[in-house]
């Protein structure tokens, strides 16, 4: 019981879960969309960015960006440092507001009019480079906390895991390959395992879209291979957008690759197509 109380205390303390305490949450449009399961992709992509512009102090970080992500696809985004890849994710998640342009989730949700909280609640999950896990809690408890943060089971501060929810956590443990570590404290995991745990914490919330920025930074070769399998296995059920510099890794998972350069799409296609594109070659070789 003490452990459970501690968990609840952590949830109250930690800003990640602040929104659970927000009485107004169920009335927010994003939340309602999730509760009703409405992400309308019948006539188009799941993510739709068109003519998007963002300038920071006059510098155009995003310049007439057009990007269309299909439901269930695995999209890789590459591009040199400063190309606008992270800024693009900031725009999708509501962290950065575009100066102009259209950003839609499905047909009906205008992401430029939704808060970061609403966007997350609507089903767009983002994995940060520094995992937001609870080091003192076990792997299982971390997944449990993430599940409780799922707006579809709101309000859930004092809920008990149902059989279905336990199954969901077990499935996530299998997906992220941490079954043997379920009762280990998160702090005891390897760097790579921590990254997978965070992905698991997103997965239990059933996001429609998962945004992953530089997932293999600092990973061993084996962890990198495992991460490639993990992300590939998530596609289909989720749309997965991966930003990464490591070309060998990208090649191992790539279907469609988008090359960003100076805030704009320079090329798009299969890995072979973009690698042989003279514009891409020139950007990467700095000619």
33-70 burial string, b = 16+ CB within 10 Å, else e? bbeeeebebeeebbbbbeebbbeeeeeebbbebebbbe
Q: Which stretch binds Mg ion (CB under 5 A): 28-36, 77-85, 113-121, 162-170?
A: 77-85
User: Smallest gap, in angstroms, from Cβ of residue 258 to ligand ATP?
Assistant: 12
* Among positions 33, 47, 75, 86, the unique one binding Mg ion when judged by CB under 5 A: 86
User: Smallest gap, in angstroms, from Cβ of residue 213 to Mg ion?
Assistant: 6
- Going by C-alpha positions, the residue among 168, 172, 169, 241 that lies closest to residue 209 is 241
Comparing CB distances to ligand ATP, the nearer of 90 and 181 is 90
The site for Mg ion, by CB under 5 A, has a size of 2
Range 92-96 contact pairs with CB under 8 angstroms and sequence separation of 24 or more: 92/47, 92/49, 92/119, 92/124, 92/209, 92/211, 93/119, 93/120, 93/124, 93/126, 93/211, 94/118, 94/119, 96/54
Write the interaction track for ligand ATP spanning residues 61-100; mark x where CB under 6 A is met and - where it is not: x-----------------x-xxxxxxx-------------
User: Smallest gap, in angstroms, from Cβ of residue 249 to Mg ion?
Assistant: 15
User: Smallest gap, in angstroms, from Cβ of residue 266 to ligand ATP?
Assistant: 12
Between CA 177 and CA 171 the distance in angstroms is 10
Q: Rg for the chain (alpha carbons), in Å?
A: 19
The site for ligand ATP, by CB under 6 A, has a size of 10
The distance of Cα 130 from the centroid of its chain, to the nearest Å, equals 13
Parallel/antiparallel/unpaired status of strands 264-269 and 256-261 = antiparallel
Comparing CB distances to ligand ATP, the nearer of 42 and 81 is 81
Write the interaction track for Mg ion spanning residues 95-134; mark x where CB under 5 A is met and - where it is not: ----------------------------------------
Comparing CB distances to ligand ATP, the nearer of 49 and 172 is 49
Helix (H) or strand (E) holding 84: none
Restricting to residues 8-67, name those near ligand ATP by CB under 6 A: 56, 61
Tokens, residue 221: 């070769």
Q: Which residues bind ligand ATP (CB under 6 A)?
A: 56, 61, 79, 81-87
């Amino acid at each position: 019981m003490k452990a459970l109380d501690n968990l609840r205390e952590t949830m109250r303390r930690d800003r990640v879960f602040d929104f659970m305490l927000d009485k107004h949450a169920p009335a927010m449009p994003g939340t309602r969309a999730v509760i009703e399961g409405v992400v309308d992709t019948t006539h188009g992509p799941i993510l739709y960015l068109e003519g998007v512009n963002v300038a920071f102090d006059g510098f155009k970080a995003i310049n007439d960006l057009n990007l269309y992500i299909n439901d269930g696809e695995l999209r890789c985004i590459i591009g040199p440092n400063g190309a606008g890849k992270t800024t693009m994710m900031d725009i999708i998640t509501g962290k950065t507001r575009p100066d102009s342009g259209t950003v839609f989730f499905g047909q009906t949700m205008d992401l430029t009019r939704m808060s970061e909280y609403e966007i997350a609640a609507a089903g767009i999950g983002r994995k940060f480079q520094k995992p937001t896990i609870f080091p003192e809690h076990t792997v299982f408890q971390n997944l449990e906390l993430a599940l409780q943060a799922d707006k579809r089971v709101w309000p859930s501060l004092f809920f008990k895991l149902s059989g279905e929810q336990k199954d969901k956590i077990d499935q996530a443990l299998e997906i992220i390959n941490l079954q043997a570590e379920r009762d280990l404290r998160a702090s005891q995991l390897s760097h790579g395992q921590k990254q997978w745990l965070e992905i698991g914490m997103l997965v239990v919330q059933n996001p429609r879209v998962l945004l992953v920025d530089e997932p293999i930074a600092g990973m061993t070769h084996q962890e990198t291979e495992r991460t490639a399998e993990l992300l590939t296995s998530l596609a289909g059920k989720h749309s997965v957008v991966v930003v990464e510099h490591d070309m060998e890794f990208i090649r191992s998972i790539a279907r469609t690759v988008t090359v960003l350069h100076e805030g704009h799409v320079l090329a798009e296609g299969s890995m072979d197509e973009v690698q042989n594109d003279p514009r891409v070659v020139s950007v990467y070789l700095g000619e």
